[in-house]
Chain A
Amino acid sequence: MTTAVAGVAATVVQMMVGGTWAILGWGAASVVAVAAIVVSPELRWRRWRWEVREHEIDLQRGTLAITRTLVPMLRVQHVDTKRDLLQQVLGLATVVFHTAAGANEIPALTVAEAGEVRDRIAALAQAADEL
């Protein structure tokens, strides 16, 4: 996404100004592309933290902006796992849990782990409801 934007911007610069500026533009676009493709996913992956506790789910993610979200277990309505095409090829799955205010995700776990997490959240949510 970022790469595409950078490419488009560089093209626009080339069309409108041309010359030296175009070369600089493409250079900058390449730097952005390298950052977006090589560095950023690694960082994002490394920064993605989650923890399922008895009474809450705690998520923390982001590189430039760090977002932390806390979802009380009592509020979890249902939980499922999903796998898009790429994840099926790579043997990964995403856990999605829903509250009345929307959905939250724990992306790209291994299939076995995602299954465990899903069942754990489901059991804890059930227990929280019976309290």
Chain B
Amino acid sequence: MSSDEQPAVSGEVTPAGAGAPEVAPRRLHPAGIAVLGVGSMRELAVPLLVAFAAAVFGGGGQPILRAVVYAAIGAVIAVIAGLVRWMTTRWSIGDGRIRLRTGLVSKKETDVPLARVQAVDTVHGPLQRLFGVRGVQIQTAGGSREAEIVLPAVSRDDVEVLRGALRRPAAPAVVEAAPLAEHRLGRRRLMVAALTAGQVGVLLPVMAVGLQLGESLWGEDLDRASRQGSRFVPDSATEWLLTGVAVVLVAWLVSTIGAVLGFAGFTITRDGDRLWVRRGLIARREATIPVARVQAVRVVEGVLRAPFGLATVRAEVAGYAREAAVAQTLFPLLRRAEVEPFLAALVPELADGLDGMLRPPSRALRRYLLRPITLVGALGGVACILFPDLAPWPLLAVAPAAAHGAASWRAAGWRLDQRRVAIRFRRLAITTVLAPVARLQQHGTRQTVLQRRAGLADIEIRVGAATRGHVRHLDASTAMALFDGLRREAVVAGGPASPPGVARSR
């Protein structure tokens, strides 16, 4: 595998374009009327809802009849919008390029050389399934938020035509003949993955909002409740606790259902120089990831998963950073010990172990503890002053904070061997970043005044927009050695590594 992750960027017609069939400008499958119509409905959802609400709640008359009329008007608008968008959308292949023309008033033409196409992804949402068509997304190397060409409804034959036109004939026969490595998510794994999908980071804000909502609702009700003598309002600590538990349970249930829908039937296949990911229950998604564009692997041991030795494997894919997470999860749930064999089978280019890390020195433990303890202690102190009734209790939060600090110290580690770097750190989840040094976008050190006195320093690496790793409080000389080691591998023909000499002013 070449270490050059840039796609072929040349003006010439490549073999991929030369051998490709020409496709005269054609419309989407007629099912596109429905798909595009629903799409425009979605864009208009808010104004429509407002109109609907106005119809139901505003003024007298027959609210239900009015609502029905408005809904009908909405549906008609959707059909017309879908029809217009369908009639004005045409795609074609020719001259080694794929073209998309769309728009009635403001016309938009997208023109992508076939050689630049990175992947052809398909989506079968509920609507596409209903009509037996596929949505196609054509990805190029550009870092834009969405796929460069989106065809919401294409017949199966046309999908094959597109795939055929965009397939690169470059892959040698030897690779084709190699047995395909494939990994499927079984039903039991799916359940475990779904049950542990809830990130505390996601749960907490939901919980806070829920509690606040409850408070404001019940705050209002309290007057009425006391007046009426009835109470379905929590007024004791137990009831508040129960409410909290209920909110957490609901949030957890939502995240579980979401994960089941998203990850059902998750299958990843290595096919030559591509990874092929399929997943999803209602909206079936397929994505192809060129292996050369996988910059780094992130192994995330979530809060609910780490105690059971379970982890998720994610990828930093160049050009996909801000796009659908479809392309980012390499596998939703693995045992820790299975990660290395999994990577070795599917992405040997990036496979590396999770263990054998070098750790921050034991004198750093104090500093890992100090920050959370002072921070939470100060917050607890303020809480005690503001709510004297609760007096010593908020200070108890220091204990879990300290435990988290100690856990962060235990998790922190790094390894640099040959041309690969591994960095492990803990925020809430433990994240291990595995990357070839040649793929680093930047790296750096950081040292505060206090660290300087203790002879400690932090190190940070960035592989992509989403993949960053840092280890705090390494021995300062170790951090400098790591900085220089990364520099030697990442920078071609690096000279002496003295700090920057040019003062910023002249």
Contact = CB atoms under 8 A, between A and B. Distances in A.
Interface in B83-124: none
Interface residues of A, number: 36
Q: 8 closest pairs, A vs B, by CB?
A: A101-B441, A51-B500, A69-B444, A101-B462, A48-B504, A65-B448, A58-B500, A49-B500
A126 to B, nearest CB: 13
Interface residues of B, number: 39
Contacts of B443: 69-70
Nearest to B506: A113
Interface in A44-67: 45-46, 48-51, 53, 55-56, 58-60, 62, 64-67
Given A56-B491, A100-B464, A67 B444 contact: yes
B504 A45 contact: yes
Contacts of A59: 444, 500
B505 A71 contact: no
B441 A64 contact: no
Nearest to B505: A45
A51 B502 contact: yes
A38 interface: no
5 contacts: A51-B500, A56-B487, A65-B449, A101-B442, A113-B506
B143 A70 contact: no
A70 B444 contact: yes
A99 B463 CA distance: 10
A104 B486 CA distance: 19
A56 B495 CA distance: 10
A111 to B, nearest CB: 14
Contact of A53 (B464, B495, B499, B506): B495
A96 interface: no
Contacts of B495: 53
Interface string A119-131: 0000000001101
A5 B216 CA distance: 30
B502 A55 contact: no
Given A60-B500, A70-B487, A55 B492 contact: yes
B446 A67 contact: yes
A50 B467 CA distance: 25
B483 interface: yes
B318 to A, nearest CB: 6
Given A56-B491, A101-B462, A101-B463, A50 B500 contact: yes
B441 A99 contact: yes
A32 interface: no
Contacts of B501: 49, 51
Interface in A84-127: 99-102, 104, 106, 109, 113
Contacts of A72: 440-442, 490-492
A73 to B, nearest CB: 8
